[in-house]
Amino acid sequence: MEAVAAIFGLLFLLLVAAGVFVTVKAVKAAKRGVDRGVAQARRTVEDTTLRARQFTQPGVAGELAQLRLSLRTSMRATQDALHTGAERDTSLTEALGLFERLSAHGHELDDELKRLEREPDKASITARLPELRERLERITHSAESLRWAARDRARQFADDDLAALGEQIDMEAGALRHWSKEPLEDRIEASGSASAAAGAGASGAAPEGAAGRKPWGPAEDEKPAITARDPRTQPTYAWQKAPRTERTT
6-35 pLDDT tens trace: 787 778 778 877 777 777 777 676 666 665
Dihedral angle, C-alpha 157, 158, 163, 169, nearest 10 °: 130
Task: Give me the long-range contacts of 131-139 (CB less than 8 A, separation at least 24).
Answer: 132/67, 133/67, 135/105, 135/109, 136/67, 136/70, 136/71, 136/109, 139/71, 139/74, 139/75, 139/102, 139/105, 139/106, 139/109
Around Cβ 209, how many Cβ atoms within 10 Å? 11
Interatomic CA distance for residues 29 and 37, integer angstroms: 12
Identify which has the larger pLDDT, 196 or 64: 64
Q: What distances in angstroms separate CA 164 from CA 46, 71, 158, 167, 168, one per listed residue?
A: 46, 40, 10, 5, 6
Identify which has the larger pLDDT, 12 or 229: 12
User: What is the per-residue pLDDT across 146-204, written as a single tens digit (0 to 9) for each?
Assistant: 999 998 988 888 888 899 999 999 999 988 887 655 555 565 666 666 666 656 555 55
**How much is the pTM?**
0.55
Interatomic CA distance for residues 69 and 65, integer angstroms: 6
Which DSSP symbol is given to 177? Answer: T
Q: Is the pLDDT of residue 222 over 80?
A: no
Closest of 47, 42, 90 to residue 69, by C-alpha: 47
End-to-end CA distance of the chain: 100
Compute the average pLDDT of residues 41-65: 78
Split at pLDDT 50, 70, 90, the class of 67 is very high
Interatomic CA distance for residues 137 and 112, integer angstroms: 15
Q: Nearest 5 degrees, angle CA 45-CA 48-CA 49?
A: 85
